[in-house]
Structure 1
Amino acid sequence: MYTREQTISRMNALGRAECPFFFVISHDMGHNLLFEPSETEGERMAAFSLPLGTMGNQDGGPPLPERLRFIPSPHPVSRYAASFASVRNHLMRGDSYLLNLCVSTPVETNLTLRHLFRFARAPYRMLLGPDARISGVHGRGCVCFSPEPFVTVRGRSISTFPMKGTVPSATQEARRWLETDEKENRESATIVDLMRNDLSMVATGVRVKRYRYISPVETSKGPILQCSSEISGLLPENWRSRLGEILLKLLPAGSVTGAPKEATCRAIAEAEDMERGFYTGIFGFFNGRDLDSAVSIRFMEEDERGMVYKSGGGITVMSRMEEEYQEAVAKVYVPFDF
């Protein structure tokens, strides 16, 4: 485990040396992991799959059970209502104008973390086994099958892709709702503005290249639609030697916190009754020249009590508690067919 300061120093050194490495950074940036490719095997049970590269055994482990079981026990609506009331109070006071509220959902399943890593259809996947030296806080194992890139770097071009807006179906009617709903549009505008400002701290010529494009995401319950935007800029020529400094300056990710960041993070800590750990942090790969990273959403964790799925959604003053609760419940899925 590395602290925030150790992570920055180590990433800067590896970047300067153009040495490839994988990384996992927790939501609070205080419990972080770095892996060089030579460390892939052995008892670590860590694996990654990103467009720029993979680490660990991608095909190992047992086959899927003949009959799959995946039964969530939704977060009690009364507990969600209490958290919602807390964040709404902050929103009404003007402490925040968009806040990402997250919950944990116990899941009864015969799927293992390795099953989920191996078979989930997602462009960004991460697995950490239940080893206290490498896994989440208190030694929990976890798996992430994320559809959301955080930042990518190709050459000196840096891009970020904040995802805001989800509808639990893929019909034309659902698409039209996602395109026109005022609350969803305001969420996107807030986060795009936040991420554009964040990127401007480390890059020049920052601009919105694509605003609110809609993509399908496969789930065990059928396809859903999610809305994203693309923001890009130009990094300085020496960015690799400042890799850790640049990356952690952009954290925590705006799409899973809210705006303004500092006050919103305080409101989140007050409202949520769970520990985020690696959930809503980031993970990624630097191949010596370029970088891929993803937001750690679509996330399951395992401890001695069993499996827990962590999910959430953006809350504004226009939000209705019942609708936001249903969105958090709808996001408890795995992206492969049952």
Structure 2
Amino acid sequence: MKCSGMENWILKANYFGKNNIPFVFLVDFNLSKPFIEKVSDIDSSQMLYNFNGYTNCNYKDNTFNKSICIKSYTLDFNKYEEAFKYIHQNQYSGNSYLANLTFPIRVELGASLKEIFYCSVAKYKLWYQDEFVVFSPEIFVRIDKGLISSYPMKGTIDASIKNAEEIILANEKEAAEHATIVDLIRNDLNMVASNVYVEKYRYIDRIISNQRNLLQVSSKIVGKLSEDYNERLGDIIVKLLPAGSITGAPKKKTVEIIKHAEKYDRGYYCGICGYFDGYRLDSGVMIRFIENMDGEYYYKSGGGITIYSDVESEYRELNNKIYVPVG
């Protein structure tokens, strides 16, 4: 059943974990609308999910058209620039070193949200009550056999650009941004685990879509949990929220700054979703997100801002992320 608050959500996650009961969960960006439910109790008419193959839908039954078109309206550059300048002012003042700036951008869809769920290709896919659809490539944390791992994703480039991989890995701004977020996630994991280390640093993921192909840069960070971790799944997850990759550093102050700059409620966008199969937990960050807002559709998109960021290139990146990865 749904929970009324994070305390109940934590208690249920701990109980399900202790008793090896499979469950699916969502937590919104503001930690105000948590959802947790036993897999056996989820109504597929209200929620469809596919988290790395762990799913409640039958793809053999769908006959949806894979030709999905998105028409994107232009976000007012002046509006973006105003928010960007506010963040930069705080960064020059030393209040933040990295801030993830996002905006909702109106789009027209050539398909329903449920069709997008079925046709998109991503690690973490979710359709929820026809309110929103998520097709996210970004892992939040995985827990398996006493180890917790996180995979922050920072740095995006159009794969069609000549020498794109070399360019993104050599970019000083992108390298600084990635280093900052890896350090933040490493510190976060130290709150819940021991022997935390970076196992793999700045590797390339390829994101394929029907509009454009992208390269994104990720790292892998690992730590060891205590022997009773299954009894504390809820506590572990909540200590790490909100996700560092979609907030910034230092996290608490940067969240205040981006809320003032963005002037809208992210809702479930930039929250997390995932499952526990009774033994392993896998979760994703809810980016690549389309929401139904009073009958109009908005694609929520964003990117990391540092003191080295250029407003025009960040604005372009924001718009370049408006796509549906269709296989």
Does 2:151 match 1:161? yes
Letter in 1 for 2:91: L
Letter in 1 for 2:306: T
Equivalent position of 1:10 in the other structure: 12
State how far apart, in whole Å, the 1-side matches of 2:111 and 2:128 are: 15
Equivalent position of 1:97 in the other structure: 97
Moved more, 17-26 or 217-226: 217-226
TM-score computed with the length of structure 2 as normaliser = 0.95
Question: Cα deviation per residue 1:248-298 (whole Å; 9 max; x = unaligned)?
Answer: 101111000000000000001100032100000000000111110000000
Q: Cα distance 1:68–1:191, how it changes in 2: closer, same or farther (>3 A)?
A: closer
Which of 27, 30, 33 is the aligned partner of 1:31? 33
Letter in 2 for 1:51: N
State how far apart, in whole Å, the 2-side matches of 1:220 and 1:74 are: 20
Equivalent position of 2:129 in the other structure: 129
DSSP 3-state at the match of 2:184: helix
Question: Cα deviation per residue 1:165-221 (whole Å; 9 max; x = unaligned)?
Answer: 000224452111111110000001100000001001111111000000011111222
Taking the TM superposition and a 5 Å limit, the aligned residue runs for 1:156-195 are: 156-195=146-185
Equivalent position of 2:84 in the other structure: 84
Whether the 8 Å CA contact 1:13–1:241 is kept in 2: the answer is yes
Q: Cα distance 1:289–1:101, how it changes in 2: closer, same or farther (>3 A)?
A: same
Equivalent position of 1:47 in the other structure: 48
Letter in 2 for 1:109: L
Equivalent position of 1:107 in the other structure: 107
DSSP 3-state at the match of 2:226: coil
DSSP 3-state at the match of 1:108: strand
State how far apart, in whole Å, the 1-side matches of 2:149 and 2:44 are: 34
Taking the TM superposition and a 5 Å limit, the aligned residue runs for 1:259-278 are: 259-278=249-268
Whether the 8 Å CA contact 2:64–2:118 is kept in 1: the answer is no
Equivalent position of 1:306 in the other structure: 296
State how far apart, in whole Å, the 2-side matches of 1:241 and 1:249 are: 15
Moved segments of 4+, more than 6 Å = none
Which of 186, 191, 194 is the aligned partner of 1:204? 194
Equivalent position of 1:218 in the other structure: 208
Letter in 2 for 1:275: D
Question: Cα deviation per residue 1:101-144 (whole Å; 9 max; x = unaligned)?
Answer: 001111111211111110101111111014xxxxxxxxxx1111
DSSP 3-state at the match of 2:79: helix
Q: Cα distance 1:234–1:52, how it changes in 2: closer, same or farther (>3 A)?
A: farther
% identity of equivalent residues? 38
State how far apart, in whole Å, the 1-side matches of 2:69 and 2:316 are: 21
Whether the 8 Å CA contact 2:44–2:56 is kept in 1: the answer is no
Letter in 2 for 1:93: S
Equivalent position of 2:227 in the other structure: 237
DSSP 3-state at the match of 2:163: helix
Q: Figure out how many residues of one structure are paired with residues of the other and give that number.
A: 325
Equivalent position of 1:137 in the other structure: none
State how far apart, in whole Å, the 2-side matches of 1:163 and 1:291 are: 19
TM-score computed with the length of structure 1 as normaliser = 0.92
State how far apart, in whole Å, the 2-side matches of 1:150 and 1:42 are: 24
Letter in 2 for 1:310: K
Equivalent position of 1:72 in the other structure: 72
Structure 2: runs of 5 or more not aligned: none
Letter in 2 for 1:116: I
Q: CA deviation at 1:49?
A: 0.7
Moved more, 154-163 or 33-42: 33-42
